[in-house]
Structure 1
């Protein structure tokens, strides 16, 4: 079994309106309640999903970020097969967004920073998806060539940095779409005039719902998502700091704690 970490109340307007991912009274395991790093915990059956026997439990740990990526690509975006897509940020959500978009026939391009060049961008390259290190001088030329100079049809901002949406607007085509998934801590200085004049649609995607989790489990089980390459099982629950530091330094993509 796996748990949805964001628990909806089921009673507010949003929950009753089919928008439980933006529940007014949500709680998050590990943030509002303790026990997220315990080897065993109790969870209301409303928030658990069965894992097929054919899926290793270790790989099922990727179901939650996969559910977020699936919602962003398959529900919140207008992406269609053949679209030229830019994914900003090769973190776990970015890698999964790129993989799902690629699986439905989009032409995907993933951008990262210099610190991503050693581990995360090669991880995407190994999936046969084109990448670019933005610190390289030819980055803009490569993106221009990839889109025949018109810009990307859809840009997914998974960076969590306030400049992400600003850069997305620079790279999307007129009449295109930007989907913001990352959560910046600082305010953006997005200029709205080019957004309005270019009729650029800005969409957001937050968390996931029950059906997104079920879809994520199926995507893992049928091999669309192959978690093994992005999982890092070298960390232990009694030393979580090591995992967070490695993640923030882009030395790993998806840390998973072991209890052995």
Structure 2
């Protein structure tokens, strides 16, 4: 079968071949239908700091959907020929954090497609506890967005209850920022999605269809202060400027991963009693809300994805790195 891995050359991928995986007890074989390209895949391909653990021979892809074609246990027989998605964050279920329900920060966390072979392939095997049936009302290509939507759900829920009409600034119009803004708008917040002028054509221009207002940060000035800042850009400059826009008693949630160290003058946050929160990944419970959002917005969301055959993955990665698409999704023909 054809698979996509990173290359020895930073910024390049390999399209190569592997044997169809053999199942062990408790595993399920999925024929992959669609697999989205995530920022983490791009970081791995670029050999970015913090992604050194991703081996060259590991098949990429942790946002995917497909059809179950083989199981090992009788209890899973009902899944054969069913369309499914896969929870990407594979937690142990035994550590202190897992036992308290915080599986996104499992002490032994591994991510499919980064730690071991993932969905940028024709077939993939997955431990059965992470395989979930797709709601029949959701097209299989949009089910590949389940994981990034769940990450956005997790981020929004980090501030407990988002109130209607609260002013929210989301910095960074990548897919996580876009979905974070979408969910905030769905909860009737007043949402500004901020990005650069270069983000407008493929990203910011789509914001209004989902109840958000685009803000071109290097051209337009933010009016007034915000109740909540979601920092999804990964830019230290954006974080520093964003913090100044938060009102007293507001909240800051860091969702992006940062490739560089930075310095922050925290006195302003202390004086305004603004908590600095972080959000990483998602928990199983976040997928239910993610699925509801995907079903509700499925028609406009079809304009968010750009489909590429698996064997054109080089083009899909290039366009993703150049930010010429909002969300590239590979599919098997």
TM-score of the aligned structures, taking structure 2 as reference length:
0.72
1:198 paired with 2:280, answer no
Q: How many residues align?
A: 250
Contact 1:76–1:204, Cα closer than 8 Å, also in 2 = no
Instruction: Please give the per-residue CA displacement for 1:212-242, whole angstroms capped at 9, x wherever unaligned.
Output: 0122112212338842121111x23223232
Contact 2:185/2:211 (8 A) holds in 1: no
Q: Which among 256, 259, 276 is matched to residue 182 of structure 1? A: 256
Match of 2:124 among 9, 32, 41: 41
- Whether contact under 8 Å (2:153, 2:289) holds in the other structure is yes
CA, structure 1 residues 195+13, in 2 after alignment: closer, same or farther (shift >3 Å)? same
Question: For 1:225 and 1:197, how far apart are their aligned partners in 2?
Answer: 45
1:227 is matched with 301
Q: Which has the larger radius of gyration?
A: 2
Q: 2:292 aligns with which of 179, 193, 218?
A: 218
| CA-atom RMSD in angstroms | 1.6
Alignment check: 8 A CA contact 2:209 2:300 kept: no
Question: Gaps spanning 5+ residues in structure 1: where?
Answer: none
2:6 match: none
Q: Tell me which protein shows more helix as a share of its residues.
A: 1
Range 244-253 or range 183-192, more displaced: 244-253
Higher strand share: 2
1:1-260 equivalent positions in 2, closer than 5 A? 1-136=84-219, 139-140=220-221, 143-144=222-223, 149=224, 151-223=225-297, 226-233=300-307, 235-260=308-333
Moved over 3 A (4+): 75-78, 222-226
Distance across 2 between alignment mates of 1:131 and 1:222:
22
> Structure 1's 77 and 162: CA in aligned 2 closer, same or farther, altered over 3 A?
farther
Q: Quick one: structure 1 residues 202 and 225, their matched pair in 2 at CA, closer, same or farther if it must change by over 3 Å?
A: farther
